[in-house]
Each structure stands twice: as structure tokens, then as C-alpha cells.
Amino acid sequence: MKAWVIDKISDLKAVTEPLSLVDLPKSEAKAGEVLLKVKACGVCHTEIDEIEGRTPPPTFPMVPGHQVVGIVEATKATGAVRIGDRVGVAWIFSACGECEFCLSDQENLCPEFLATGRDHNGGYAEYMTVPEKFVYPIPDYFSDAEAAPLLCAGAIGYRSLELCQPENGQNIGLTGFGASAHLVLKLISFLYPESKVYVFARSEHERRFALELGAAWSGDTTDRPPVLLHSIIDTTPVWKPVIYALECLKPGGRLVINAIRKEAHDTDYLAKLDYPTHLWMEKEIKSVANVTRHDVQEFIRLAAEMQFKPEVQTYPFSEANRAILDIKNRNIKGAKVLML
């Protein structure tokens, strides 16, 4: 089968083809697993963190991709999922099911958490295998391409919003406006219709897109919104927005950082952290780690209920490297998806 692989750590400023196209033996389902014929796979900023070594695969080569939509072609599991079913695979490939975290609805924090496309081959390939317990039926309402971004951008966006603990009417900020944030904006207007959303983004293009989607206000990362905010979700890969976001929080406000890793090149911004301005008055910072199956199921259910189709930009399978570089270069409008 054809597959794109990460075979080494590389610097995307210097390399234009970080993934290699290879021929691998076709995957085979082991006990408890299903084999999927992949139809679509979302492209996520996390692939860049893997390629550049901030959260590298433990072994090479590794097939990336953790927003996978496929058709079940074979099964060696209980039969809860049948041949011909269309299902999705998310970042959570498996968790132990027995630790204190798994037993308390926090399987995202499991010490044995395995990530699809980092710790196990993912969806940038014609086929992949996955434990039956870690797939999700995809509602007919979504095309393959539309369903892919629900599985990471949407699911982790849902988790980030839950961690804000919002109430209807509270003002919520989003700093960074990529695939996840645009889904969160739609989710806020559905779940909390009285709340206003304030979007901070570097590019004029992203700021305009936010207003088109219903944001009350949009400005540059360093701009001050007209009101202080109850909570802010940061989806950027850098530090500068963290400092500026903390300034925009109300007393008792919470900043939720939705990033698996932060880049190191602007850590000097952390030296600007001024306790009375940025943290006093019981402001909080919380990170988001991974997703649970519940997050994925809930976001898929909500997206179908709100009849919301994510904005997607599709790429042929052959152009995986172009899709990666487009994300690196912030050439972003909605979510990017590889089509097989």
C-alpha cells in the first residue's frame, strides 16, 4: 500500500519535502482491531510538531495522520463495527483502560496513551488498523472530507471549550484562528447563543474570516478587545499570544492553552510576564492534553445536530507535503484534508 511517512526529524524552514512516499506491506488487523480503507485524512499542526521533533514518533518511519475517515474492510474484533461501515479515527489510538485516569473519564491523561499517527501508523496511507473500541460512526450528513476535521480540530476544540467552563452570555476569546478555532466559534454560537466571541489573529485574512463566521470582534494578537473576557482559548504555536491574552482576562478568568507543544523561538516573551498585570486576581492557565473518546463522540453528535459542516480545503493524496507546508506558512482557511 502507498503511504506517506516521517522518516526523520527535519526543519521545515529548510526542507520542502518532509514526508516520503513509500510502498508498505498492506496493514492487517490483529485481534480486537479493524482494518480501514482510508478515504480522507485531515492535516493537523501536530504533524509539524512531529516532523520538527517537538513531539517526535518513538520510531521511524511513522505514517502520520490522526483525523481519519475510512471504510471497514476487515475485522478481527467483536463485530460491533461491521465490514462496510464508515468510521473515523481520532488522536486517541488507545489507552490502558485500567489506570486511575482511564477509570475517571480522563483517558486522555493515561500514562499508556498512544496517539494515532505518532505512536502507531495513522491515516496518510491507503489502509490503517485500529482497535475497534477506538472508532466512531460517521453520520451520513458529512462527506468524508467534512468529517475528517471533526475528529481532531473539532474534538479538541470541544475539550478546550469545556475546560473554559463557560456560561451562556459570558464573553469568550480565541487567540489564533485555524481549523480548531473556527469550529469552536460555531460551537459557542450553538451552545451559548448569548455569548460573544472575540478573535485575535495575526493575519487580516483570518480576522475577516472570523467576522464572516459570526465573531463579535476581531483584532491583531496585540490588540485589546472592547471588554475583558471570561475565558480565552489559545491555539497558537508560540508564546507571545499567551502574554497578551492574560492581559485581556477578567478577574478570575481562565486561559486555556490548546497546543501539544509551543515553539521555542519567542520564549523571550515569557520574561514580560508581570504578576499583577497577567496573573493576579485569580487568573488561571490550563493546558489541554489529547482527547477522550467522549470528546470525539460529543463533538460529532453536536456538529450533526447543529447541521454544521466545517470549512475544508482538500488536497489530493499526492500533495501531502504541500498541505503540511501550507499549514507551516499559515496559509490557512478552515481545515485541510487529504483525499484518497
Reported as type and span, the H/E element at residue 161 is helix 153-163
- Count of beta carbons in the 10 Å neighbourhood of residue 135: 25
What is the number of residues in the chain? 340
- On whether the CB atoms of residues 33 and 76 are closer than 8 A, the answer is yes
Cβ closer to Zn ion: 45 or 240? 45
Q: How far is CA 24 from the centre of its chain?
A: 27
Distance in Å, CB of 9 to Zn ion, minimum? 19
138 burial class (0-12, 13-18, 19+ CB within 10 angstroms)? buried
Distances (CA, A) of 326 to 242, 244, 258, 314: 24, 26, 20, 12
Report CA-CA distances (Å) from 129 to 3, 4, 76, 77, 232: 13, 15, 10, 11, 37
Q: Confirm if 299 and 87 have CB atoms less than 8 A apart.
A: no
**Whole-number minimum distance, CB 27 to Zn ion, in Å?**
21
Work out whether 99 is an interface residue with Zn ion (CB under 5 A): yes
- Shortest Cβ distance from residue 180 to Zn ion (Å)? 8
Q: CB of residue 92 vs Zn ion: minimum separation in angstroms?
A: 11
229/288 with CB nearer Zn ion: 288
Interaction between residue 183 and Zn ion (CB under 5 A): no
Among 95, 172, 229, 323, binds Zn ion (CB under 5 A): 95
Count of residues engaged in binding Zn ion, rule: CB under 5 A? 8
Choice between 90 and 215, CB closer to Zn ion = 90
24 is a contact residue toward Zn ion (CB under 5 A): no
- The whole-angstrom separation of Cα 125 and Cα 38 is 7
Q: CB of residue 112 vs Zn ion: minimum separation in angstroms?
A: 6
3-state SS, residue 327: helix
Residue in 41, 43, 92, 152 binding Zn ion, rule: CB under 5 A = 152
Residues near 31 by beta carbon (within 8 Å), at least 6 away in sequence: 76, 77
- Per rule CB under 5 A, is residue 102 in the interface with Zn ion? yes
* Window of 13-21, 98-106, 126-134, 262-270 that interacts with Zn ion by CB under 5 A: 98-106
Q: How far is the CB of 130 from Zn ion (least distance, A)?
A: 16
Instruction: Tally the C-alpha atoms within 13 A of residue 287's C-alpha that lie toward its C-beta.
Output: 10
Query: Which range binds Zn ion by CB under 5 A, 88-96, 169-177, 199-207, 208-216?
Result: 88-96
- 110, 128, 145, 255: residue in contact with Zn ion (rule CB under 5 A): 110
CB of residue 105 to Zn ion, shortest distance in Å: 11
- Least distance to Zn ion, CB of residue 214, Å: 24
> Which residues are registered as beta bridge partners of 232?
173, 255
Name which of 34 and 41 has its Cβ closer to Zn ion.
41
Cα first-last separation, the chain: 12
Query: Least CB distance from residue 283 to Zn ion, whole Å?
Result: 27
Does the footprint of Zn ion cover residue 46 (CB under 5 A)?
Answer: yes
Nearer to Zn ion, 113 or 200 (CB): 113
Q: Does residue 228 interact with Zn ion by CB under 5 A?
A: no
Give the residue, chosen from 36, 40, 43, 44, that forms a contact with Zn ion under the rule CB under 5 A.
44
Contact indicator for 253, 230 with CB cutoff of 8 Å: yes
**Residue 116 binds to Zn ion (criterion: CB under 5 A):** no
Catalog residues that contact Zn ion under the rule CB under 5 A: 44, 46, 95-96, 99, 102, 110, 152
